[in-house]
């Protein structure tokens, strides 16, 4: 990131003037805090004693046997709240506390970031509001209940496709109205600088742990990509290593595979839009992948050739979801099932060592699965 806030040609700040002061303040404070011993020690202690890190790196004999190589699962599903989102939520909530903000707001699609934000807010004694598309609220009702139990106020978003893109729109509008008192706890490595950098830094604990846990250097890293936080957390610590990295998008929301360069939610990246320049609605069985853009650092990884990006269909993710339950006794998030599906259907060499980020657990997705199977998938 040679130019502040940019990853090659991607990133930057494309926001209303009313938010520039808040972003400048956040950048200054974060750059100070990430060097502050007290902040780093408090976050480290919370990640270990509260969130349950380090998460295990599990060697899967059954997936390995199926693929003909060594396959490991980085078990982010075993984090407190059930996904990798707590890593970033705790970090940013501590930043909000240092900034003296009175309220945290967050967007959520699958609900896992909303739960993580509400959890961090409850722990630290800060008010919390969560914006969520009404379609996603219906699909992820369990997580809606969890957020409400944690004391968060839920704001249903009805407009557009009523999914993650619209939830981000609503959260940004709310933040723009009162940036002095509100902290926007963004859930993925998207948005204006410094958010992509902050989220990457907080999620990099995933890849750092893999480096310590795996005695041999992996040949491949694989993770699902929506906005891209779990994947950038796995990939970034290995950026300079000579290994392959693959991000797997949902086929109906594959901005890196099928998109074009544009600007959305404050940053320049790959976006799905139509001939008139309007952002396209997306579809995925996994609400956390149902997004029209991707983090700018992933866009840089794509154009520089540092990582490759592929896509998986709903039916492939469902097949992997079922296989994992019946053969491993693990219920993966539908988001993670996309990465697992791609690994299972790819061709491997015997000496390949593959690490998959199992980004979250899938109890939240059981109503979706039941509904989709009723439709014949």
Q: In sequence order, which residues have a C-beta less than 8 Å from that of residue 324 and are 6 or more positions away?
A: 330, 331, 332, 337, 340
Structural domains present in the chain: 6-45+85-198 (3.40.50.1100), 52-83+204-374 (3.40.50.1100)
Among candidate residues 128, 108, 148, 123, the one with its CA nearest the CA of residue 291: 108
Structure-token pair, residue 171: 């959260």
What is the four-CA torsion angle of 168, 139, 313, 343, rounded to 10 degrees?
90
State residue 113's pLDDT score.
98
Task: For the chain, give the percent of residues with pLDDT over 70.
Answer: 98
Residue 176 annotated to the active site: no
Structure-token pair, residue 269: 């990246």
State residue 375's pLDDT score.
59
Per residue in 78-93, pLDDT (tens digit) is 999 999 999 999 999 9
Q: In sequence order, which residues have a C-beta less than 8 Å from that of residue 348 and are 6 or more positions away?
A: 67, 68, 69, 354
Contact 205, 234 (CB under 8 A): no
Residue tagged active-site, from 85, 101, 135, 319 = 85
Residue tagged active-site, from 107, 249, 297, 335 = 107
The dihedral region occupied by 68, where left means phi > 0, alpha psi between -120 and 50, and beta the remainder, is left
State residue 43's pLDDT score.
98
Residue 284 annotated to the active site: no
State residue 371's pLDDT score.
87
Per residue in 285-326, pLDDT (tens digit) is 999 999 999 999 999 999 999 999 999 999 999 999 999 999
Per residue in 30-76, pLDDT (tens digit) is 999 999 999 999 999 999 999 999 999 999 999 999 999 999 999 99
Q: What is the DSSP string of 204-240?
A: THHHHHHHHH-SS--SEEEEE-SS-HHHHHHHGGGTT
Mean pLDDT, the chain, integer: 96
Contact 4, 193 (CB under 8 A): yes
State residue 49's pLDDT score.
98
State residue 18's pLDDT score.
95
Residue 101 annotated to the active site: no
Residue tagged active-site, from 74, 76, 359, 364 = 359
State residue 372's pLDDT score.
82
State residue 195's pLDDT score.
98
Task: Per-residue pLDDT tens, the chain, 377 aa: give them.
Answer: 556 799 999 999 999 999 999 999 999 999 999 999 999 999 999 999 999 999 999 999 999 999 999 999 999 999 999 999 999 999 999 999 999 999 999 999 999 999 999 999 999 999 999 999 999 999 999 999 999 999 999 999 999 999 999 999 999 999 999 999 999 999 999 999 999 999 999 999 999 999 999 988 999 999 999 999 999 999 999 999 999 999 999 999 999 999 999 999 999 999 999 989 999 999 999 999 999 999 999 999 999 999 999 999 999 999 999 999 999 999 999 999 999 999 999 999 999 999 999 999 999 999 999 988 775 55
State residue 377's pLDDT score.
55
State residue 373's pLDDT score.
77
């Amino acid at each position: 990131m040679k130019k502040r806030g940019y990853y090659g040609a991607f990133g930057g700040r494309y926001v209303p003037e009313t938010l520039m002061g808040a972003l400048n303040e956040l950048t200054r404070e974060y750059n100070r805090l990430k060097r502050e011993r007290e902040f780093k020690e408090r976050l480290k202690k919370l990640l270990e004693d509260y969130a349950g890190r380090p998460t295990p790196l599990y060697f899967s004999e059954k997936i390995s046997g199926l693929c003909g190589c060594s396959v490991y699962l980085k078990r982010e599903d075993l984090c407190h709240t059930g996904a990798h989102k707590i890593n970033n939520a705790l970090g940013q909530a501590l930043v909000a506390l240092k900034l003296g903000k009175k309220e945290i707001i967050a967007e959520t699609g699958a609900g896992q970031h909303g739960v993580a934000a509400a959890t961090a807010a409850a722990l630290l004694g800060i008010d919390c509001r969560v914006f969520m598309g009404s379609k996603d609220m219906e699909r992820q009702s369990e997580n809606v209940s969890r957020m409400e139990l944690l004391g968060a106020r839920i704001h249903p978003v009805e407009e557009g496709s009523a999914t993650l893109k619209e939830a981000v729109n609503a959260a940004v509008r709310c933040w723009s109205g009162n940036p002095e008192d509100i902290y926007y706890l963004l859930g993925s490595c998207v948005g204006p600088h410094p958010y992509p950098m902050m989220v990457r830094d907080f999620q990099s604990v995933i890849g750092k742990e893999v480096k310590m846990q795996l005695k041999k250097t992996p040949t491949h890293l694989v993770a699902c990509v929506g906005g891209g936080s779990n994947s950038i957390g796995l990939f970034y610590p290995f950026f300079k290593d000579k290994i392959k990295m693959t991000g797997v998008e949902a086929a109906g929301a594959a901005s890196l595979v099928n998109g074009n360069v544009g600007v959305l939610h404050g940053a320049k990246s790959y976006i799905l839009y139509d001939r008139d320049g309007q952002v396209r609605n997306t579809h995925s069985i996994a609400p956390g992948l149902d997004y029209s853009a991707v983090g700018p650092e992933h866009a840089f990884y794509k154009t520089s050739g540092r990582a490759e990006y592929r896509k998986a269909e709903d039916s492939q993710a469902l097949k992997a979801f079922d296989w994992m339950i019946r053969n491993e006794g693990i219920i993966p998030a539908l988001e993670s099932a996309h990465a697992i599906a791609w690994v299972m259907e790819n061709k491997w060499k015997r000496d390949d060592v593959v690490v998959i980020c199992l980004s979250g657990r899938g109890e939240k997705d059981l109503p979706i699965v039941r509904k989709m199977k009723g439709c014949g998938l």
